[in-house]
Chain A
C-alpha cells in the first residue's frame, strides 16, 4: 500500500513540475531573444579570426520529403563542414502536406533548431517575421560570418528580403522566371490548324478548337495568362496569395494598384472564362480536382499543361517518350512581353530567433551557398553514384531515383554563379525549343518595377484581411473558372461581400504602405 501511495505522490509531482516547466519556458525565451541582435559580432576576436574550437551540431528544417539517399549525402556534407567550420548539420523535414500547419508550430512550440528554409509568400516568410520567429541579420553579421555570400548576393536581393528595414533571410540567387508556359501537343496543334500560340487570342482559339474535338486544354481557368498578357502581376502580401490586387509590372512608371474588382479586365476575363468553360476547355469539376498538374497531359486527357518552363520540359519529355506521335512542344502564351524574374526571396534560409548558435549557423549557410563541393552534393548528390561531372560547369545524371536533381529543398541556397547545368546526350526538338526559349527570356528580362520587392504587411488590418479571405473563395474560384451562371451578378455579389468585409480599409492601408515604400526607395 505504501508503495502505491509513493507512486501516486511521484506521479502528482511529475505532473505538476511538467506544468510549471511548460508554463515558464515561454517567459524565459522572450527575454533571451531580445538581446541576441547585438551579441553575435562580439564572438569574433580582435584579429578577425572566428573562434570555432567548440564543435557544434546544428539543426536545420527543410520542406519536402527525405529521399532514400539523403542521409548518405549529408554525411558527406558533414565531413566537409566538420573540417571547415567544426560543425555538423542534422536535417528534419516538414512534408509538403503538413508544412502549412507545422511551420508555425515549430516557433510557437519553442522547438530548438538553428536554420530553416523559408520563402516569401509560399513558405511563411512574412508571417513568421510578423510573429517574431526569425533572427534579424545585420549587415555586419552577414559580412562577418558569411563573407562569401555577401560577395555573391546582389544588393537588390537583400533589399527584397528587408521587412521594416531589417533583413531576416538569406535569399537565393538565381534567375527564376515567375511566368508559366505551356507544354502543348504538337500533333493537336497541327490537327486544329493552329500554327503557333504566342498570345492570349491564339491560346483561346486553340482551346476552343480542342474543346470542339472533346479535349480539355487546361486544368483550371487561365486567369494568370490573361492578366500577364495585360502586363500585370500579383502583389506580394495581398489577399488570396496576391491575386486580389495586381500592379503593372511591365511599366515602372505605373504605380497604381489594380484591385481586381475595380478593374474592367477582371469582368472581361470572367466572361471569356465562362465562354471557354461552357465550350468545355476544362472540366466542370475543376474546383474539386486533386489531380497533379502533369496528370492531364500525361494521360492524354488534356491537350496541354500550364507550368514553369523546367516542369514543362520534364513532363514534355516524358510524354514524348511514352507517346512519340504526340510531339509535345513548349509555347509561351505571353511572348510579347519582357520577362519578370522572380524575387530572390522566393527561396531562402532564415535563422531561428531562439537559436543558440546563430554565428555557426550563418557560417554553415556560407558553405552551402558558396563551397562548390557542398553545393554539388546538396544539389546533385554523390558524384559517381548520382551524377558525373561534364567539364567544370555541367553534369550528367547517372541515377536520379534515390536523390534527384535539385529535389531536396536545396533551393534556399541556389547560387547561379556555381550551379552546374545539365548535359543532354540525345537532344530532341523539345530540348532545342526549351534552350531557344530560355536564351530568349534571359535576353529579354524586364525592367525592375518598384513594387517587385514590395510586400504588404497586413498586421494593422488583420481583422479585415481575415474577413476578406473568408469571402474570397465563395465567388472568386467559381468566377475565374467560368463556373457561374450569371457572371455580372456574381461579380456584383463578390464586390458587395468584400466591401462589407472591409476591403476598403485593406486597400487604404496598402496604398499607404506602397507610397511609403516608394518614398523610402526614391530617397535612397
Chain B
C-alpha cells in the first residue's frame, strides 16, 4: 500500500515535471529571500556587535524588548497602528471595489483606459514626494489650501499644529496612492465572471444596480476575502514611509499619528541598535501572525472555501 503511494508520488512528479520546473524559481526565491533571512530572528535576543555578527554575538534574553514597553508609548503606538490599518484596509477595499465596478460599467473604452491610467499614477510616486506635496498644500505660509481659504476671506488654518486633522489627511493620501493599483485586482476578478450570467440577469429584467449587487459583488467575494486576509497579515506594521514623510519630526501630531515603526525609528536611529530593532520587528510579526491565524479561523467558520489555508 505504502509502496504504491510512493510510486504514485514519483509518477505524479514525472507527470507534472514541466509545471514543477516552472514553480521552481518561485520556490527558490521564497527559500532564499523569505525563509533563510528568518533565521535572523535570533538577533532580537542578542546584544549585537560587528565582530560577533549575527551568530557570534552574546545572548541577552528579552532585554531588547524592554525599551519599547518602558517608553510608555507602546500602547499608544500599537493602538494607532492597528486603527490606521483597519481604516486603510476597509476603506481601500470598499473604494477599490467601487472604482473597479464603475470602470467595468463604463462604455467608452478610451475614457476608461485614460481614467484607469490616471488613477494608477500616484502608485509610482515616492512617499518622499508625497510628503513635499502635502507640505506645499497644507503649509500655513505658502500653502495651496491656505491661499484658497484666505482668498475666500477665511481665517488661516494651521494644519501642522492641529493634530485632529491628520488622521483624515493620512487616510486620504493612502487611499489616493493605492486606489489605482488595488482596483486592478478587483477589475481582473470582475473580468473573470462568466458573461452568460449577466446575460441571464438582463433577460430576467435586472437593472444595473441589481446586476452589480446580485451578480458582480457575490462573484468577486472570494477574491475580496483573500485580499482582505492578506492585508490583515500586516495589520501591526505601520507604513513607515507614509507616516514619516507626512509627519516627520512634528511632535505636536504624534498622539494621533505615531505608529510602531516611526517610534522605533526615533528611539534607535542614533544608536544603531540592531537587536532592539529586530525585537520590534519580531513583536509586530508575532502579533500579525496571531491575527492572521485567528481571522482565517473565523472565516473558515463562515465558509471554508474562502480561507487562505
Chain A residues in contact with chain B, CB under 8 A? 1, 4, 8, 11, 15, 18-19, 23, 25-27, 29-30, 33-34, 100, 104, 107-108, 110, 124, 127-128, 130-133, 239, 241, 283-285, 287-290, 301, 353, 458, 462-478, 483-484, 497, 500-502
| A463 & B50 in contact (Cβ 8 Å cutoff) | no
A497: chain B residues within 8 A (beta carbon): 72
List the 10 shortest-distance A-B pairs measured between CB atoms, nearest first: A26-B53, A470-B267, A466-B67, A287-B250, A467-B71, A470-B71, A474-B251, A477-B251, A132-B51, A466-B267
| B48 & A131 in contact (Cβ 8 Å cutoff) | yes
| B70 & A288 in contact (Cβ 8 Å cutoff) | no
Give B34-81 interface residues, CB cut-off 8 Å to A: 36, 48-56, 63, 66-68, 70-73
B31: chain A residues within 8 A (beta carbon): 15
| B267 & A285 in contact (Cβ 8 Å cutoff) | no
Give the interface segment out of B112-120, B194-202, B203-211, B270-278.
Answer: B270-278
Chain B residues in contact with chain A, CB under 8 A? 17, 21, 24, 28, 31-32, 36, 48-56, 63, 66-68, 70-73, 132, 135, 139-141, 158, 160-161, 247-252, 254-255, 258, 263-264, 266-274, 276
B270: chain A residues within 8 A (beta carbon): 127, 239, 241, 469
A-B contact count (CB 8 A): 160
Residue of chain B at shortest CB distance from A475: B251
Chain B binding surface SS class? helix
Given contacts A108-B53, A470-B71, 14 further A-B contacts (CB under 8 A): A4-B17, A128-B50, A130-B49, A131-B49, A239-B270, A283-B141, A285-B139, A287-B249, A288-B247, A462-B67, A462-B271, A471-B73, A473-B249, A501-B72
A-B contact pairs, 13 of them (CB 8 A): A4-B21, A15-B32, A26-B54, A108-B53, A108-B274, A124-B272, A132-B49, A285-B158, A462-B271, A470-B68, A474-B254, A474-B255, A474-B258
Residue of B24, B28, B271 with most partner-chain A CB within 10 A: B271
| B52 & A288 in contact (Cβ 8 Å cutoff) | no
| A285 & B141 in contact (Cβ 8 Å cutoff) | yes
| A284 & B73 in contact (Cβ 8 Å cutoff) | no
Query: What CA separation (Å) do A462 and B67 show in the bound complex?
Result: 8
B160: chain A residues within 8 A (beta carbon): 284-285, 287-288
Given A104-B272, A466-B267, A466-B271, answer yes or no on A23-B55 (Cβ-Cβ < 8 Å). Answer: yes
- Distance (Å) between the CB of A382 and the closest chain B CB? 36
Given A287-B249, A287-B250, A469-B267, answer yes or no on A30-B272 (Cβ-Cβ < 8 Å). Answer: no
A23: chain B residues within 8 A (beta carbon): 55
Residue of chain A at shortest CB distance from B254: A474
- Within 8 Å by CB of B67, from A108, A353, A463, A474, lies A463
Query: What CA separation (Å) do A34 and B266 show in the bound complex?
Result: 33
A34: chain B residues within 8 A (beta carbon): 51
A501: chain B residues within 8 A (beta carbon): 70-72
- Within 8 Å by CB of B50, from A133, A465, A473, lies A133
| B70 & A132 in contact (Cβ 8 Å cutoff) | no
